[in-house]
Structure 1
């Protein structure tokens, strides 16, 4: 039997979800960078429009510059919920009274380990358990993401960029 402590499996799954959310956030930051040039200036589009300024003649046009970021929706994603199902057989219950010399249970010291002054009890799982159809233990993961409103910082940046757009030149085509 290939036994895995239940606590370790839960910690690994929680860590995987946290890492997945971190990767989503990194991808979104990288995507935001696509709206800026190599000098961190906002990329923009220049649009030619008939001039509506007072004192212009028919046929005069305005060049209107609009930063790209405010022109596109900026919905962010986050993991809404995770459902993890797996088939396993319960193994032995273990009661580890072993300590590391200072009276503390010998626990793996990782970012997920929480120290306990009591004896460590654990249940082992056999995730390779054989089932009625002779297939090994299966894992089914359902991950749902949801769109969320942009963060305050992105909303402020987008609003500021929107305020910088406007006409920067009026001209008569052919001049």
Structure 2
């Protein structure tokens, strides 16, 4: 039997979820950079529209500049919940003293910033993650991960608002000019 402490397995799974969320956030920041040029200026599109200026003729056109970022939805993703199912056999109970290096019953970790470190011996249970089940393959783990769209952060909302306020007509084009 290959014994794995239950806490270690749960910590590893929780760490994987945290890492997955970090990667989602990194991808979203990288995507945000697509809306800026190499000098960090907002990319924009110039649109030719019939002029609405006073005194303009029917053929006059306004050149309207619109930054791209406010034109697209900026919904972000985050992990909503995770469901992890696996089959394992319970193994023997053991205490921390059975696995620490110096035998004093205290796990080999540094004391936390706030000074909390329990000196009590903790009981753990070992799991056999290689246990065979008739209804599933060896070492089968079922993971269900759901993501949800969330509103943009305050910073992205402010940036988008500011860029939207900078858009507008910057030149009127008259035929023959």
TM-score (norm 1): 0.91
Segments of structure 1 that go 5 or more residues without pairing to the other structure are: none
C-alpha distance after superposition, 1:28-79 (max 9, x if no partner): 0010000000000000000000001001122000000000000000000000
Instruction: Report matched runs for 1:83-162 at 5 Å.
Output: 83-97=83-97, 101=102, 103=104, 105-107=106-108, 115-133=117-135, 135-162=137-164
The alpha-carbon distance between structure 1 residues 133 and 85, as it changes in their structure 2 partners (threshold 3 A), is closer
* TM-superposed deviation, 1:102: 9.2
Structure 1 residue aligned with 2:171:
169
Q: Answer yes or no: is the 8 Å Cα contact 2:96–2:105 preserved in 1.
A: no
SS in 2 for 1:97: helix
Between the aligned partners of 1:96 and 1:78, the Cα distance in structure 2 is 36
Aligned partner of 1:82 in structure 2 is 82
CA distance in 2, matches of 1:9, 1:107: 18
Matching residue of 1:26: 26
Query: Displacement of 1:135 after TM fit?
Result: 2.8
CA shift for structure 1 position 137: 2.9
SS in 2 for 1:34: helix
Pair 135,100 (structure 1): closer, same or farther in 2 beyond 3 Å: closer
CA distance in 1 between counterparts of 2:176 and 2:12 reads 67
SS at structure 2 position matched to 1:161 = helix
In the comparison of the two structures, how many residue pairs are matched? 172
Aligned alpha-carbon RMSD (Å): 2.0
**Contact (CA 8 Å) 1:107, 1:115: kept in 2 or not?**
no
Contact 1:43–1:67 (Cα < 8 Å) also in 2: yes
Structure 2 residues not aligned, in runs of 5+: none
